Structure formats: C-alpha cells, structure tokens
Structure 1
Amino acid sequence: MKLAADRLINDYSLRGWEFAHAYTAHLDEWIHAQCASLDMGDGIALVAVGGYGRREMAPYSDLDVALVHRDGVEVKEIAEQIWYPLWDAGLKVGHRVGRIDELIALSHTDLDTATALLDVRLLAGDESVAFDLALASHEAWHSDALHNATRVIERVQELQDETGEVAFTLGPDLKIGRGGLRDVHALRWAIATGVLEENAAIRSLQEPEETLLRARIALHRVTGRRNDRLMLDFQDDVAELMDYPDADALMAAIAAAGRSIAWVADAQWFWTVRSRSERRRRTDHELIDGEIVVDGSLLQLVEAADPIADPDLVFRVALAAATRRAFVDRTTLERLADERVRIPSPWTRQMQASFVELLLLGHSAIPIFEAFDQMGLMSRLIPEWEPTRSKPQRNSYHQYTVDRHLLEAAAEAANLVDRVERPDLLVVGALLHDIGKGYPGDHTEVGVDLIATIALRMGFNDKDSKTLQQMCEHHLLLPDVATRRDLEDMGTIQFVADTVEHEPLLMLLAALTEADSTATGPNAWNPARAELVYTLVDKTRHVIEGGDAAEVHTARFPTPEQLALMAERTFSVRIVDAGITVVQDDLPGAFSRVAGVLTLNGLDIVAAAAHTEDGMALSEFRVKNPEEVDVARLTHQLEEGFRGRLALEARVAERRGTYSKARKRLSAQPIDTAVTFDNETSISATVIEVSGLDDIGMLYRIAQSFNELGIAIQTARIQTIGDMVVDTFYVAHNGSKVLDEEHLREVERAILYATETK
C-alpha cells in the first residue's frame, strides 16, 4: 500500500482535484481489498465521510470513516479487523462506530459529526445501511435548516478568528483561514440545508478552490506531513512545485483566491441568514433618485437605470451602499461593470465628488471597493491599480496585500481629516501613496509619475495634482526621520522644514504617516512612535513659521535628575518607565558593555543615548519589555562587566548561537547589511545608519567596532521592521565629525565585519 501511495504522492503531474480523486481511488481500492476477506454480513457498512467522503484527499489528510451497523449487530471484532490494518499502514484515521440513530443523535450536538455525515460514501458492506445513514443525515440536517446554517457560520467564524485571512496572513491556513477551503465546504453544507441554492457566484469558486487545493497538496508534498499553514519557509518550494515563477507569484494567486472565496462567502451568508430574517420582518423599501432601491440590507438598481448612459451611477451606488452598510446585488454589480459603461476621462465633477465622499466614509467603504475589485471595476476606474491587486508584501511588518493596504490607509485617513485643510487630498493621497509598489523600480519614484496621470484623470487641477505627488514623494519622510534621527539636532529639523516648505503639506504628511502606519500592521504605530513623529511635526511647523526649533519644548536628555546622578560620581542603575539609566566612570567601551549586558538579559532595545561629562558617562537605553528586568541581576552583571570580570563577548555569542536558530523567519526577501554616512544633516555629529538582519547582540557588536576606532556614540536610535533592523548613530571622533574618507571606509569595514562574521 505504501509503495503505491508514495508513487502517487511523488507524481507531481497529478495536482488539485486530479490528485485528490486518484489518491482517494487508491485508498478505496486498498480498503476494499482489506475488507474483502471479512465476514461483514448484512447490517454493517464501512463508509467514508468528511473530506474522504468528498474525495478531497491531500497526501497526508486524515482518513475519515465510520463503521455503521443496525440494531442488534455485533461489530467489535469486525472493527478491530478494520482499524488495525489502517493504523499499521501509517494512516491517521478519524473513525466513528455506531448505529444510525446514535450517529444522528450525536450530529444534533456535534457539528463536526453533522457535517461529516453529509458526505457519506460506501466503502464496504451493506449498501442499504450506507443509504439509510446518508438519507437520515440529510433529513436531520434539513429539518432545522436555518439553525444548522447559523451553526456553520458561527463555527467557521470562530475558527477564522484564530487563523486569520488567507489573503492577508504571512503564513495562511489554506483550509481553515477566512477565504480558505472550509468556506467552500460551508457553502455546500448550507446548500444541503436547503436555505441556499447553488448559483453562479458559488460556481465561480471552482477556480479559486482548485488553486488552494493544489497549494495544500503541494504543501503536504514539500513538508512530508499534514500541514495546512503555508509558512514563509515553505513558499519557495511550493511555488516551484506548482510551476509559479517565484513565491511572490504563488502568494499573489493564493491571496486572489482567498479574497474571491471570502467575498462570495460573505454575500452568500448574507442571503442565507440576514436577508431571510429581514424578509420575515418585511422591511420597507427605500427609493433613491428614482434609480436605486434599498430593501433592508440589499441594494439594487431599478430596471430602468442605465449605467451606460450615466456612468456617475457607479459612485452613486457605492455611496448609497456604504452609507447604509448594504450589500450590492450581484446583478447590479454586473451592470455597473459592463464593458459598455465608459468611464469618462477626466472624470466628471460629480464623479470626483462622489469618489471623495466615498473615501471619507472610512472603513464602511472598503466592502464596496472590494466588490468593485472582484468585478474588475477598480481597474476600470484606476487602470494603474491592476498591478497592485492581491500583490503580497510577504513580511510580518505589512499585514495586507498592497491594494488592501491602500484601502485601509485611506480608511484610517478618513478618521484624521479634522487635522488638515484639504480632507479630499488626504484620503486620495492615502489611497495612492503606495500605488508604485505594483511596478518595477523604486515605488516612490514610480508612484509620483503614476499619480501625475491619475490625478488629472480624476479631475484634479495642476496644483492639487502636485500636492498629491508630493504626498507620495515624501510619505516616508516623517516616520524615517522621527525614528532614525536625533530630534534635538537642529540640523535635522531644518532639513525636514526645507524639504516640506509649507505647513499645509506638513500636516497632510503627518496625517498620512499615522494612517499609513496604522494600516500597515500592529508593529508600525504605537504611542512611542506617535510621540516621535508629532514632536518632529511640532518642531518643523515652528521652523516653517519662522521660529527656532530649540524653542519647541521636548523631553530633554540628559534630564536634570540624570545630571544629578552623574554629579554623585558613583555607579548607578535606575529604571524609570521603559528607560534604563546607567551611570559609571567614563571608561572606553562603556556604552557597548551596557548594550552587551542588556542583550544577555533578553531585552529588546528600541532607543539609546549617551552623554559624558567631567569623567563620568551616562547611558540611557529604552527597552520594549522593562517589566522583565531583574534589577539586582542586571546591576551585578554591569558591575562585573565594568571590572573586566564578565566574558561578555563569549556570553553574547553563546546566546546568539542558542536563540538565533529558534527565531522565525519574518520576511521573504534576503536582507543584506548596508552602511550609510551623513555629514550634512547634523551640525555637530556624523550620522551613521546601519541596516541589516535583526540579530541578537547586533548593537553590542557595532558599539564594540566603534570603540576600536575611537568613535564616541552620542545618540543611537533602533528601529525594527520585521526581520530588519535600522540602527542610527550620532557619533564623533575626538569631539568632531568624522570627515576623513579613509577613516569612514575603515568604520564601514569594521561595522560590516561586526555584523556579518561574528
């Protein structure tokens, strides 16, 4: 059995349903042969149920079977003769044993049993028993149709709350995730209740279902086990097995399939439960402009409405649906997406106004845009949108595909319109700021060029078009400067002010930064980052208005309390909020030693600053997890380190060797170390930016390399983006900038060695 199964599993020409049916047939044949010698007699049947009953077998799927018998028939001996050969063959068997009435009774309380029994298929034994079980299970399922459909919805949603969405998860669950194979199964179970009829929308899921099934089978083949999560580490191999050019193309196909399934499932569940209950309540009809009818939560165009003659209807329908949180009838969507509907260029004034109004509705507009996208309307309205569709970003930092991120950013921007003079430019700029990610080249530069065309097509004038381009060009300016530069350095503030020039654009960029970051994912926006960004905004606005950046009050380093500690001239370790302050004699390598000890304690450093005065050194490190600090242990290790009694380099290397292997891969792209120098921004320091793979002890090793070359760290900022870390250092040599090119090359050599070879 195993040799034949292995031949099928290793025959990569068999994919999707073709493999599933072939593998199911092989299992059927083998089980039939095993049962041929058994005296099953009348009243006993071995049946396939669940996925095996549906003939949907992946290489390492569970074998779902049931041994069913009539009243008074003894099955214990037969059961053992069936189960043991299955187990001996290495199959993972999900088995049930019982009378028909017992299994039906169980199905009333156990949903998994109820749905498994909807796909009964005879393997061996009494055909009449299998027939009666199938009939009884369907009758029981149909007897309380709406309740059972509701049970399915609630169960599926419960599972999906844990697994996330197939389209937007870095390692999607192809079976259970939202938009996964389970959604397709659930629709078929709803059809079995009779509350839902098979229709064109459900039939349209054949292709996305095949895509996910092929991926699931390939994933089993790659991992050699049952596995439904397509994690980052497996995506390259699965893509190769499925003949995709690369993993990006594979995950784009997975995302597109997941979105199609989720969209259809949402609409069908609406029809199954919500719409039926509304129809029972006899909700009133609402007629809008004589062309749009809203019946409860369903929106339709009247028959006389003509989108071909009136393309403005596209956005009027969208607005009506979004403001009422209504589903747009599929026939209406098809009429709006008719190729004969010509989108004018430039848009009419009414189209532009309706589009902006739709964006200003925020998150309630996203389902409408998603429906438009499924029907191809988004690319009709904005042709440059097409390459962004379902484009994966494949790292833990970005939660969504490019196109969905743009919709989420626009929705977040709608919450911030009270902060800007031009709400329309804010939401449109948010929608378009990453439009270049669908194209080769630098996405910002490409996006600026694309927006020049898009904005004019949308009917914006030259001035507004330029503002939208500037929003794209500078959309990373504020977050990058705020998190990677010293905001106490006047040169930094002047650089931003010179770049932005005007206060209205600054406020648009500030709101865009918050909207973009919030829409990116949970790690991209937090109170600490918000404080940095808006400190930068306040200082920059003051300079733009003619003031001095130093006049804007911000947190001071060193604080008066820290200076008082230094004046005591004794070793000290203090923890205040998320900051760890260390005062000690000004010894060579003091900063790197503190960084090393913090690394030994498993603390994630997010920012650091250093100050020396009158023979004393002050180091301040801000960490993510201050509650985990063992102050006594930390103090002891620091004392030992400063006395030269702690093998710090060896200990950090040991920790790195132990924990680096266990860290999950968070980004699809390889991350190389890069070092850049900036002697223009800061008035008094050389700014060194080091980006590379986030690695245990990286800050410690870089600080060591600086110490070797006599480089003093004044301030450090640490930013983690998925697998990548960007460390920025304000440094000096003998109190001055590092200007000598040969010296800078040596600094770069030392950093690359420290980060790549140790």
Structure 2
Amino acid sequence: MSEIPNRRAIIDRRAVAESIDAALADCAPDARRGTASRLLKAALTAARAELKRRIAAHPGRGLELAAAHCFLTDQLLRLAHDVALTHLYPAKNPSTAERLSLVAVGGYGRGEMAPFSDVDIMFLTPLRSTPWVEQVVESILYMLWDLGLKVGHSTRTIDEMLRMAKADLSVRTALLEARYVWGDQPLYDEASLRFQREIVSGEARAFIAAKMAERDERHRKLGDSRYVVEPNLKEGKGGLRDLQTLFWIGKFALQARTPEELADKGLFTPAELRQFNRAQNHLWAVRINLHDLVGRAEERLTFDVQRDLAERMGYRARPGVAPVERFMRHYFLTAKTVGDLTGLFIAHLEERFSRSAWLPSLARRPSRLNGFRLNRGRIEIPRDDFFAEDPVRLIELFQLADLHGLEVHPMTMRAANRDAGLIGEGIRRNPRANALFLDILTSPRTPERVLRWMGEAGVFGRFVPDFGRVVAKMQYDMYHHYTVDEHTIHAIGLLNRIEKGELRQDHPLSTAIINQIVSRRVLYVAVLLHDIAKGRGGDHSILGAEVAERLCPRLGLSPAETETVAWLVRYHLLMSATAFKRDLSDFKTIIDFAEAVASPERLRLLLILTVVDIRAVGPGIWNGWKAALLTTLYNSAEEVLRLGHKQTGRNERIADKKARLQSVMGWKDESFAAYAGRFPDSYWLSESPDVLAANMALVAQADLDQSALNVRCTPDATAGATLVTVYAPDHPGIFYRIAGGISLGGANIVDARIHTTRDGMALDNLVIQDPLGGPFDEPARLKRMESAIADALAGKVRLADRLTAKPLARRRQEAFRLAPQVLVDNKASNRFTVVEVNALDRPALLYALTYALYGARVTIHSAHIATYGERAVDVFYLTDLTGDKITSPARIKTLERRLAEVATAPGAPQSAELAA
C-alpha cells in the first residue's frame, strides 16, 4: 500500500499502540478491553475524518482511496490483535496449538475497501480451536464490534479451510484473495502454499467455467445490460465484479498477483492494462463517493444520488448536456471498457487452454468469407493489416457474421476497435459500405446482436457519427431504463421479433400489419433514427428528421423513402401522445390525427414504430391498456383514411350500438327505449359495447334495489386494468371525491369518462391500475376500493386530511426538478376545452387537480391520465357550467394559474369538506 500518501496522517499505529499500552498499564483486568476499545474508537474517528477530507479533496483517486480505507482496517486489526495477545490473554509459553494468524479474505484481502465495506477476516489456527484461541478471537471480535465495524469472520484450521474451498466456489474465490494481515506468518505461508498446491493446480478450466457461468447468471438477474440508467456499480454488467472476475481467473489460471502481472503474461497489452487500471480507478472512485454521500453501504446509482455525485466529482455542464448526464456517460463508457476487456481476456485464455469446454464450436463452415477466416466457429481476420488494406471490411466483418450466424473473435474485435478510426468520410460515402450496413440493419436474422457488436467495436459510431453522439448517453428521468443507443438497438431487436411473429401474443395488430408494409427498410431506418438527435438542445424529433434527410440518401434510400423516414422521425411521438392524452371518442381527435398521418401506409409504419419505441423503454412500460388505446386509435384512423374524413353516420352509429345492446340484454322495446332515452348521444358514442352492457346491468340493478349509491369494480385481464363504474345522484364535485377515494384505495386512474343522465344521475366509468401500471384485480383490494369510493362520495371521510396524513416514504420522484406546465387548447375538440397539466407525479395529484377544477366552477366530461416515470400528464375535457367551451381570456388565465399552483404544491389541497 505504498501508493497511499502520508499514511500516518490517517492512523499512526505505533503512536496509538503506545497510548493503549500506557493506559492499560495501571488498568484493572476487567476494564482493559473497554479502555482499549475507547482509544481505538478515538483513533478510528480521527482517521475517518481524514479519509473524508481526502475524498472531498481528491474524489477521482479511486484506487488510492480504496487502499487508504483498507490500510486503516489493517492497522485497527493489528492493534486489536496486539491488545488481545499482550494485555488480555498473553501466552508466555505458547503450545503448538496456540498460534493464530489474521487473514484478510474477499474484497478486504484484495486490498480495496469503500467506507462501509464489510471486514472479511479468517482466524487461521494449526489445530482445532483451543480455549486460548477462542478467548483471543472473541476479544478481537468484541473490540471490532465496539468500533461499529461490520465483520464477516470464520475460524479455520488449514485442513478445514482446504476442505471448504474444495466444496464451495464462493469460499474458493474468497481464499484466492487471501492476504496476510498480522499474527503468525509461517502459519499463513503454509496455508497459502497448500491452497496453491491442493486447490489451484490443475483446476483452471473448471474454475474459469464456473466463474463465467456465475457471472452470466448475475447479469441475467440484474437485467443483462450495462446500459440501465440506475446501474449497480458492484454487481451489474460492466461493474466492479466483472473486473474482479477477470482478476480471479487470472490469479487462478496463471497465478498473476497484480494487473501488471496479467500484462506480463500476455493477457493484456500495455494499452489494455491502462484501460483496466483506469476503469478500476473510476469505478472505485464512484463507489467510495457513493458510500460517503449516503452514509451507508450502497451499490446502486439511483436517481436521487446521481446529481449529487456528479457535482462532488467535478463534472461541469456543457451545451445541451447536464453535469449528471456527463457523469453517467463516463460511467457507461467505463462499463463498455470492462465488457471489451472481458472479451479479450477470455480470448487470450482460450489460446492458453485450447481444449476449453466452455467455448462454442461450429459444426458447419461457410464456403465464402471474402478473405476472413474461421477460428473455433468465430470469424477473424487473417493478418493484422487486413482492415487497413480495405476499411470497408470493418463493415463487411459484421455483415458476414450476421449472414452466417457467426460470432466475432475477440481478437478481431480488438483490431476493429483499434482500426475504427480508418472509417472517414470516404468510407461513409462508399456505396458498398452503405449497402452492407443496410443489410445488417434490416437483417431477418439477428440485427440487434450484430449492431450491438458493431457498437462495442466502435465501428457503428464511426460509420454513423450521429449515432456515435448518443452512445452511452443517458436520459435523466425515471421513464427511460436504458441509454439512448441501447434503447435504439433494443427497439430494432423488437421490430425484428415482431416481423418474425415471435411477439404475436403481445402485439397481434403489429404482427398482422407488418407484412402489409411496402418498404420494410423504411421502418428499420426510422427505428434507428427516431432518437438520434437526443441531447442536442432542441426538439429531438425535428432535429432527427433533419438527420434522416441527410443520412437516408447516403444509405441508398430513394427520395420517397427518405421523405417517409423523415416524417416518421418527426412524428414518432404523435400516435402515443394522441392515444394516451386525448379523448378517442371525440371524433375531432381522430380527424386531426388522420389528417396528420395522411396515408394508410404511414399509419401502419407509425403504429409499429410507436409499439417498439414504447416497449424498448424498459420492462413494465408496455401494458394491455396502452395496447388497447393504440389499437382503438389505429382502427378509428384507418377507417377515416379508408372512407374519407367526413364524419358520416353519427346517428346510424348510435342506433347500431343501441340495437346491439338491446339484443344482448334482451330488453323489450318499451323498456329499452325508456332506458336509452336517459342518456345523451355523447354517452353512446364514447363507450364500447362491453362497457355499455356492464353499465346497463348496474343501472338496472340499482333502480330495482332503489340504491342511491352504486360502485362496481370489473377487472379486464386483456387490458391489464380495472373498470370502476360509479352510479349515483349527480352533484358538483363528484369526480374529485371519486378520485380521492380511488387514491385512498391505492390505485391510479388512467382514464375517465363522465356522463350525466337526463334525470340527474351521474354514470362515471373510470379505468384504474395499480401504482406499477399492472391490473388492480385482487378481490380483497377491489372490495376495499369500492368501500373507499363509497365513503368518499357519502362524505364519511375528510379526503384532504386523510390524503395529506397518509405517511409517504421518500419517493424517487423527489430527485427530479420539473416545472409544472398548464396548456389550454380550444382547437383540439369541437365541444370541449382541453386542458393538459404536466407536473411532477405525486400521490393524490389527480385529486388535487380535480378539486381545483371543482373550485373553478367547470364541468369535467372526461379525464385521461398518463405517467412517464416521474412526469404525470393529466388531460381534462371541460366546459363551463352551461355546457359551453371556456373562451374568456381572463378565465383561462385564472384556470392556468390555479392548476399550476396545485401542481407545484407538495400536498393535497386543504379543503373544508364535511361529512355531507
């Protein structure tokens, strides 16, 4: 640990030992351990203050800081050991069994520790524990516990240590890191020698296979991507554990004790050794600052710490890029480096252990590889200057890999990475290079996998520089789970799977129409480019369309194809915005959308692009309710585009719905006419046949029972949501009370349609989901929900008091800053004023907004709720109390101000509502 500057400023072991010796000289035996612990505690407090100062002064010196924390732990252990042997249980004539060695294992043995890392130690003895050994071990442990250290410990003989190492991979790995700390060194040396001779020798292949399988399983559990926006920097893909796995394998297979020895043995080039050390240093710097920031052992870079870490580690804003985004991009590039090093490392080991069972083989040999060759089923270059002779081969390499289903040899990946700089403007304009790239992008085989390889080799970003600008670029929000490049490549993979029919169950409409598309390459290029301009300081849709107009001709697309791609990129958010934020029963919504789309081909393309874009955001984002809304919008727009923009047959559509409902329910003409006459035309136009039938059954039963208040929850497994129907006497404020009751019941409203019968009853249909976007369908929860709504409507609870008193844990949304925005639109609907509120999501936000609208004396006719991570978008279709649009500028201003104030406020509104 000589790399630690001024070690004695952290802790001077000799000075502390002298103070302990002096204090214990006249101390009663039973008070000695307590006295020693107090002095050690004082030394630890001073040392931690010094380490905090060093972290603040030099936050980027990860390895130095990790070694400094380990140095402190070593000194404390040595002091505790000496107190136990000198003052507590001295052995004047120790027997053969009364020997003890303190051995650091695991991460502590490696000499790397964060402020709150566990202290993993093994007490090594020659024979079974004697009373003296037990007393010494116990006293050392009690002193360490008194210091507040989290200690993982074991007491082993050498034979026990070896027996457990043979039986357990984790024990074997921990002992591989073993390091002598203090005590009987000959005993440690004997154990180390036997471990090397009896455990390590001849077992390299089995150990490597086991560690690689362990790594793959760990990646699978954590999402199997190094580009998740809240990464686990210890266990995640591309994190510290991956680097440590390389080191473990190197130690086991080649007895390399340091990274420098790995380079000496040919496993790394000097440049790769520098990359290894830089990656290790950066990951340790982030981990140590994370521990110091949160004051506990924490390994996840969650949103609530990313901004603070970026600030304390010195990242500054750049045009269009916030400090936190620069910090996270650096992290992702480091994770990519770790992945690259892993592939190269394993390739080198393959050369050393050529009979390795864990490496794949290929039964067939492609007949034409255009000068490339096969090595154990993987494509490789025949000589080192192969790419320099013709840089187009950098693209051809991946096209051949895709065409023949081959993997790329890691040594060839290294060469591609090295030579990616050969791709200049001439290669980018080369027709053959562009044709090869388009073949990869639109491949019917595995474009996602091969494009990801191209990205890892640095070839993708060089050949498409606009894509290179979004590599490792995070989107600092809770909605997007991946970096922009990973999201894009994943979306291409989803498109490929839809085309193959693999996602028919999840996306039946997309699967049905994808083969009707005239130009499939338009769709693939549009998916590639839809987010290409993110982070440029403007509307990425508009800027992305400009990129498409410039890039598509280069790729070989015709003017017509280029125009379509540019349109798709420009409007790739149109369909989701319309489906999730607008009332699809309002015919003007459909007309406006159809006019923007203009053709059935564009509609098909836009639907599929929208589907893969949403699903590629991350797990749990796509659900049945979104599928239902998009399907409704697609079918309605397709009908308009096919039959013309004129709304025809409004009365016929209403009559048809009534006739079908009467047939399903089996009512006689006179009774049905009386029932149907209670509802305005808007009710028949906005509700689906299933909802109309469910409503009719509820109303009929309520009238029969003469029940004034009726609430029914009906789960819809297909939509992944639950329909809540409320039938009660209409009165001002009924909707905000329903919203409050649903919030108390633990659900979120995602859609609401509000109807008033001609005889003064309210019939409201609301679609709810659980807070995670899943179906709210457990019978007990549904019962509680019905009771909560009924109590809210009956005035049995003070909603404002209950909602503000509800204890809330610190929410992830609090890490974000989002200024509320209120938009009032009188052009989106012929009958209603449409108000859109964008705000930071919080519990009971919808209740607060609807209560404010009640206070503003407006009537809510429908509400449409969308959540994008931390951002809530609530849209209301309103009229004044006379049923007209809100057109007064002064009233619109007042409405905007009132809603903005509510959206900004931290809690629910304080109302004076009473039990009434």
Identify the residue that residue 613 of structure 2 maps to in structure 1.
516
Question: Using the alignment, how far apart are the partners of 1:325 and 1:668 within structure 2?
Answer: 44
- How far did 1:630 drift? 4.8
Identify the residue that residue 670 of structure 1 maps to in structure 2.
817
Aligned mate of 1:7, from 47, 50, 53: 50
In the alignment, does 2:396 pair up with 1:316?
Answer: yes
With over 3 angstroms needed to count, the CA separation of the structure-2 counterparts of 1:649 and 1:316, relative to structure 1, is same
In the alignment, does 2:547 pair up with 1:450?
Answer: yes
Describe how 1:96-495 pairs up with structure 2 within 5 A.
Answer: 96-139=154-197, 140-164=199-223, 167-194=226-253, 198-200=267-269, 203=273, 204-245=275-316, 246-265=323-342, 268-269=345-346, 276-277=356-357, 285-303=365-383, 306-337=386-417, 338=419, 339-342=421-424, 344=426, 347-361=429-443, 364-414=446-496, 415-416=498-499, 417-495=514-592
What's the secondary structure of 1:56's corresponding residue?
coil
What's the secondary structure of 1:696's corresponding residue?
coil
Identify the residue that residue 722 of structure 1 maps to in structure 2.
869
Q: Does the 8 Å contact 1:149/1:272 carry over to 2?
A: no
In the alignment, does 2:747 pair up with 1:650?
Answer: no
Structure 2 counterpart of 1:192, one-letter code: K
Alignment length (residue pairs): 754
Q: Which moved more, 1:601-610 or 1:29-38?
A: 29-38
Question: Using the alignment, how far apart are the partners of 1:375 and 1:84 within structure 2?
Answer: 52
In the alignment, does 2:653 pair up with 1:595?
Answer: no
Structure 1 counterpart of 2:434, one-letter code: Q
Question: Using the alignment, how far apart are the partners of 1:517 and 1:588 within structure 2?
Answer: 38
With over 3 angstroms needed to count, the CA separation of the structure-2 counterparts of 1:269 and 1:604, relative to structure 1, is farther
Question: Using the alignment, how far apart are the partners of 1:575 and 1:142 within structure 2?
Answer: 66
Aligned mate of 1:710, from 835, 839, 857: 857
In the alignment, does 2:895 pair up with 1:747?
Answer: yes
Query: Which structure 2 segments of 5+ residues have no match?
Result: 1-42, 255-261, 317-322, 500-513, 658-685, 716-721, 770-774, 910-916
Identify the residue that residue 735 of structure 1 maps to in structure 2.
883
Identify the residue that residue 76 of structure 1 maps to in structure 2.
134
Q: Does the 8 Å contact 2:101/2:125 carry over to 1?
A: yes
- How far did 1:20 drift? 1.8
Aligned mate of 1:95, from 140, 143, 153: 153
With over 3 angstroms needed to count, the CA separation of the structure-2 counterparts of 1:730 and 1:190, relative to structure 1, is same
* CA deviation string 1:112-150 (max 9, x = no partner): 221111122222223222222222223303332222222
With over 3 angstroms needed to count, the CA separation of the structure-2 counterparts of 1:168 and 1:333, relative to structure 1, is closer
- How far did 1:443 drift? 1.5
Question: Using the alignment, how far apart are the partners of 1:76 and 1:381 within structure 2?
Answer: 66
Structure 1 counterpart of 2:81, one-letter code: C
Identify the residue that residue 556 of structure 1 maps to in structure 2.
688
- How far did 1:102 drift? 0.9
What's the secondary structure of 1:671's corresponding residue?
coil
With over 3 angstroms needed to count, the CA separation of the structure-2 counterparts of 1:576 and 1:46, relative to structure 1, is closer
With over 3 angstroms needed to count, the CA separation of the structure-2 counterparts of 1:229 and 1:165, relative to structure 1, is farther
Identify the residue that residue 51 of structure 1 maps to in structure 2.
107
With over 3 angstroms needed to count, the CA separation of the structure-2 counterparts of 1:290 and 1:596, relative to structure 1, is closer
What's the secondary structure of 1:229's corresponding residue?
coil
Question: Using the alignment, how far apart are the partners of 1:448 and 1:92 within structure 2?
Answer: 55
Aligned mate of 1:586, from 730, 740, 750: 730
What's the secondary structure of 2:755's corresponding residue?
strand
- How far did 1:49 drift? 1.9
* CA deviation string 1:3-48 (max 9, x = no partner): 1233123322353111122332333334334434626867532222
Structure 2 counterpart of 1:29, one-letter code: Q
Question: Using the alignment, how far apart are the partners of 2:380 and 2:781 within structure 1?
Answer: 64
Structure 1 counterpart of 2:827, one-letter code: E
With over 3 angstroms needed to count, the CA separation of the structure-2 counterparts of 1:324 and 1:698, relative to structure 1, is same
With over 3 angstroms needed to count, the CA separation of the structure-2 counterparts of 1:631 and 1:101, relative to structure 1, is closer
- How far did 1:474 drift? 0.2
* CA deviation string 1:62-81 (max 9, x = no partner): 12222212237742233234
Q: Does the 8 Å contact 1:345/1:457 carry over to 2?
A: no
Identify the residue that residue 623 of structure 1 maps to in structure 2.
768
Describe how 1:522-537 pairs up with structure 2 within 5 A.
Answer: 522-537=619-634
Question: Using the alignment, how far apart are the partners of 1:609 and 1:145 within structure 2?
Answer: 66
Identity of aligned residues (%): 28
Identify the residue that residue 576 of structure 1 maps to in structure 2.
714
Q: Which moved more, 1:43-52 or 1:560-569?
A: 560-569
Question: Using the alignment, how far apart are the partners of 1:282 and 1:441 within structure 2?
Answer: 48
Question: Using the alignment, how far apart are the partners of 2:793 and 2:851 within structure 1?
Answer: 14
Question: Using the alignment, how far apart are the partners of 2:476 and 2:468 within structure 1?
Answer: 19
Question: Using the alignment, how far apart are the partners of 2:333 and 2:897 within structure 1?
Answer: 45
Describe how 1:16-31 pairs up with structure 2 within 5 A.
Answer: 16-31=62-77
- How far did 1:335 drift? 4.3
Question: Using the alignment, how far apart are the partners of 1:289 and 1:389 within structure 2?
Answer: 30
Q: What is the TM-score with the length of structure 2 in the denominator?
A: 0.77
What's the secondary structure of 2:838's corresponding residue?
strand
Structure 2 counterpart of 1:169, one-letter code: V
Q: Does the 8 Å contact 2:598/2:641 carry over to 1?
A: yes
With over 3 angstroms needed to count, the CA separation of the structure-2 counterparts of 1:741 and 1:344, relative to structure 1, is same
Structure 1 counterpart of 2:896, one-letter code: E
- How far did 1:369 drift? 2.9
